Chains A and B, each alone.
Chain A
């Protein structure tokens, strides 16, 4: 066996997807419950005032570049995490086709599509400054 054949190659695709999966899961775990609680339950019930219940406050907050970046990172990372989990859930439910390359293209491609749509929505909804 030659020395060349024993060299290890860095699996960059694995590195990338595990980075997205782990950080997406972590970020969603840290911040998503409070978004859902405040924006989805307490605000609509009128228990607390929330930025997205009034047009002027919502559009003002959305115009902030830090908020745009935060929403983009939250959505992009989370959707890569969701894509990975749902694909393997299908495998667990007895759908081996979910391991295939076309299935990977659909799930991770879906995450890419949502990320691109998020960029477009954030850039077109509220002016940056």
Chain B
């Protein structure tokens, strides 16, 4: 049986590893990864604004204020950059994540990526046409 002092020495010490606070600025890939993850925040804020815009329509025609301020346009421009970066990175990843088989043959990742970007273009045209086409 070991003496108490010996037992304490033999006990494994926990190695507490911590990342430096600025790890994400040290490498271009880390930075772009962080930007990709951060895109969620501006997109969430813009969708919350959309909900506010919808709610404000419920106040009636007399109280309705269409969004036209410079601050809102600047906010949207920033959100647009982040949203586009999210689209580019997310749809590009689809080729890695998605495994599709057609007639027992695996669809090449490049074909999946091209299809996803094609769908993005199609959705852009259709939604843009609805938002503009149904306007007065």
Complexed CA–CA distance, A93 and B135 (Å): 44
Within A73-128, which residues are at the interface with B (CB < 8 Å)?
Answer: 74-75, 78-79, 81-82, 85-86, 88-89, 92-94, 114, 117-118, 121-122, 124-126
> How many whole Å from A27's CB to the nearest CB in chain B?
9
| Most B-side CB within 10 Å, residue of A30, A57, A124 | A30
B38 lies within 8 A of chain A by Cβ: yes
CB of B124 within 8 A of CB of A40, answer: no
> Is B132 touching A38 in the complex (CB atoms < 8 A)?
yes
* A residues less than 8 Å from B24 (CB atoms): 92-93
Choice from A31, A40, A79 contacting B80 with Cβ under 8 Å: A40
- Interface size bucket, B side? 35 or more
* Residue interface bits A50-88, CB-to-B below 8 A is 1, else 0: 111111111111100000000100110011011001101
CB contact between A75 and one of B51, B67, B127, B128 (< 8 Å): that residue: B51
**CA of A59 to CA of B92 in the docked complex: distance in angstroms?**
36
* B31 is an interface residue with CB less than 8 A from chain A: no
Chain B residues contacting A121 (CB-CB under 8 Å) are 51, 54-55, 58
The answer to whether A36 and B76 have CB atoms under 8 Å apart is: yes
Q: Secondary structure at chain B's binding surface: helix, strand, loop or mixed?
A: helix
Please, how many angstroms separate the alpha-carbon atoms of A40 and B79 in the complex? 9
A59 to B58, CA, bound (A): 8
| A-side contacts of B5, CB under 8 Å | none
Asked whether A85 lies within 8 Å of B40 as measured between CB atoms, the reply is yes
CA distance A22 to B19 in the complex (A): 28
Known A30-B91, A44-B69, A88-B37; 7 more pairs at CB < 8 Å: A32-B43, A40-B80, A41-B73, A41-B76, A56-B61, A62-B57, A86-B44
25 contacts between A and B (CB under 8 A): A25-B86, A28-B90, A29-B86, A29-B87, A31-B124, A34-B128, A35-B46, A36-B46, A36-B80, A38-B131, A39-B50, A40-B67, A43-B135, A44-B67, A44-B69, A45-B73, A54-B136, A79-B44, A82-B41, A86-B44, A89-B37, A92-B34, A92-B37, A93-B24, A122-B54
